[in-house]
C-alpha cells in the first residue's frame, strides 16, 4: 500500500511516518510538506534513505503539487494544518486557507480515482470547552477559536464528500499530543526547554485549564489501526483519559527538568481560552480494539529525555523565527504587572 502523508515533516506526521515504515514492511510512504516554520526536513532524517520513502516539497493548497504527490497512492492521511491557537488569534486567514481550502484541494484530487481511504486528522478542540462529562463523536461541534473553527470546517467538508460523492472518508479527533519532535511553541516542549535553560515558564491565567494528554506514539498506533480497518463515514475520538491541569503539568515538568518553581510566571490569559477538553473514546476501543498505553508521567519522562538529548534541534528553532514570535507573544506578558507568581 502506498500512502500519501501530508504534513509529514511536522510533529505528529513525522512520528507516524517513522513508526509506519518501521512496523509495516509492505507500506510505501510519500510525504508532502510545505516546510513552513513547524515542518522540518530533519524530522525525517531517520527514514530518508529508506527506499519505501519519498519526500515532495509542496503545499496542499496547490492542485499541481497535490496531483503529483498523490499519483499512485492508495490512501491519504492529512496531518497538514496550522495548529497553534495563539497564532490563529493573530492571523486567522492562514488557518482557513490550510485547514479548510487545503482539505478541499486534497479531496478533489483524491476522488478522481478509486482509492481506499482519506483520513482527516482533527482535534478535540472542535467540541469547545466541556465543563462536565466527555464529548462523544455525535456531540454538537462548538469551536471557540479560529484554529478550532478551521479544523471543524475541514472535517465537515471532508465528511460532506463522503455523503455527496461516496468518498471513503474517516475523521479522527485527538486530544492534546506531546512527545519527541514537537515544535516548542506548545506548552510541554516550551516549558521543558525553558526550564532546561532557566527561563521563565509563562503559565496562562490561573493555570487550572484541564487537558487530556495523549503520547504521540499512542496516537500514531491508533491511526494505524484506522488505516488497516477503514470504515468510511466514521468519526473516532482518540484520547488517553489522563486529565491534568496546566498547573499539574507544570509541576511535573519542573520535576523532570530538575528546575525551580521560581521560574513559573502567571501571565494574562489567552482570549477565549477553553477551560476543559475531555473525550469519550469508547467507540475506537469497541470497534478497533485500541486504547492508550502510555501513562502520562512515563510519556513525559521520555519526552523530557528526548529534549535533553537533542538540544541542537530545539536551540536552532528557538534562536530563529520562534525567538521573534516568542518575544512578541509572551515577552510583554512576562514584563507586565501580572507577571509575578
Q: Is the pLDDT of residue 60 over 50?
A: yes
Q: Report the chain's C-alpha Rg in angstroms.
A: 19
The average pLDDT across 297-325 equals 91
Q: Is the pLDDT of residue 311 over 50?
A: yes
Q: Which residue has the higher pLDDT, 20 or 322?
A: 20
Residues that are catalytic: 124-125, 147
The average pLDDT across 44-68 equals 98
Tell me the β-bridge partners of 53: 29
Q: Is the pLDDT of residue 252 over 60?
A: yes
User: Which residue in the block uniquely carries the three cell numbers 516539497?
Assistant: 57
Q: How confident is the model at residue 105 (pLDDT cuts 50, 70, 90)?
A: very high
CA distances from 327 to 143, 222, 225 (A): 28, 36, 41
SS3 (DSSP) at 199: coil
Q: Show the domains of the chain with their CATH numbers.
A: 2-175+216-238 (3.40.50.720)
90, 328 contact by CB (below 8 A): no
Q: How confident is the model at residue 272 (pLDDT cuts 50, 70, 90)?
A: confident
Q: Is the pLDDT of residue 285 over 60?
A: yes
Q: How high is the pLDDT of residue 101?
A: 93
Least confident of 80-89, 149-158, 169-178, 249-258: 80-89
Q: Is the pLDDT of residue 338 over 90?
A: no
124, 175 contact by CB (below 8 A): yes
Predicted TM-score (pTM) of the model is 0.94
Please enumerate in sequence order all residues whose Cβ is within 8 A of that of 36, keeping only pairs 6 or more positions apart, or say none: none
11, 215 contact by CB (below 8 A): no
Q: Is the pLDDT of residue 78 over 90?
A: yes
Q: How high is the pLDDT of residue 333?
A: 53
Q: Which three cell numbers stand for residue 142?
A: 462548538
What is the DSSP code (8-state) at residue 26? T
Amino acid at each position: 500500500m502506498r500512502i500519501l502523508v501530508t504534513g509529514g515533516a511536522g510533529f505528529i506526521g513525522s512520528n507516524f511516518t517513522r513508526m509506519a515504515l518501521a512496523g509495516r514492511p509492505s507500506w510505501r510512504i510519500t510525504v508532502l510538506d510545505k516546510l513552513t516554520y513547524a515542518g522540518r526536513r530533519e524530522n525525517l532524517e531517520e527514514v530518508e534513505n529508506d527506499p519505501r520513502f519519498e519526500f515532495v516539497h509542496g503545499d496542499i493548497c496547490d492542485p499541481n503539487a497535490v496531483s503529483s504527490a498523490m499519483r499512485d497512492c492508495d490512501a491519504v492521511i492529512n496531518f497538514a494544518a496550522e495548529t497553534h491557537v495563539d497564532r490563529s488569534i493573530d492571523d486567522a486567514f492562514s488557518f482557513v486557507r490550510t485547514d479548510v481550502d487545503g482539505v478541499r484541494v486534497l479531496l478533489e484530487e483524491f476522488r478522481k480515482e478509486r482509492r481506499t481511504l482519506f483520513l482527516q486528522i482533527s482535534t478535540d478542540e472542535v467540541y469547545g470547552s466541556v465543563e462536565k462529562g466527555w464529548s462523544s463523536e455525535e456531540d454538537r461541534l462548538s469551536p471557540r477559536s479560529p484554529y478550532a473553527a478551521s479544523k471543524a470546517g475541514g472535517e465537515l467538508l471532508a465528511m460532506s464528500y463522503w455523503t455527496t460523492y461516496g468518498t471513503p472518508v474517516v475523521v479522527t479527533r485527538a486530544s492534546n499530543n506531546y512527545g519527541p519532535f514537537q515544535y516548542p511553541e506548545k506548552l510541554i516542549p516550551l516549558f521543558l526547554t525553558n526550564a532546561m535553560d532557566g527561563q521563565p515558564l509563562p503559565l496562562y491565567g490561573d493555570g487550572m485549564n484541564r487537558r487530556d494528554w495523549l503520547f504521540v506514539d499512542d496516537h500514531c498506533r491508533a491511526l494505524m489501526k484506522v488505516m488497516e480497518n477503514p470504515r468510511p463515514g466514521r468519526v473516532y475520538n482518540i484520547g488517553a483519559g489522563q486529565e491534568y491541569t496546566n498547573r499539574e503539568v507544570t509541576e511535573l515538568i519542573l520535576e523532570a527538568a530538575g528546575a525551580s518553581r521560581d521560574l513559573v510566571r502567571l501571565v494574562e490569559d489567552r482570549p477565549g481560552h477553553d477551560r476543559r477538553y475531555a473525550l469519550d473514546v469508547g467507540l475506537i476501543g469497541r470497534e478497533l480494539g485500541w486504547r492508550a498505553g502510555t501513562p502520562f508521567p512515563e510519556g513525559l519522562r521520555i519526552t523530557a529525555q528526548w529534549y535533553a538529548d537533542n538540544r541542537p534541534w530545539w536551540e536552532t528553532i528557538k534562536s530563529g523565527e520562534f525567538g521573534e514570535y516568542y518575544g512578541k507573544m509572551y515577552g510583554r506578558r512576562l514584563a507586565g504587572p501580572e507577571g509575578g507568581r
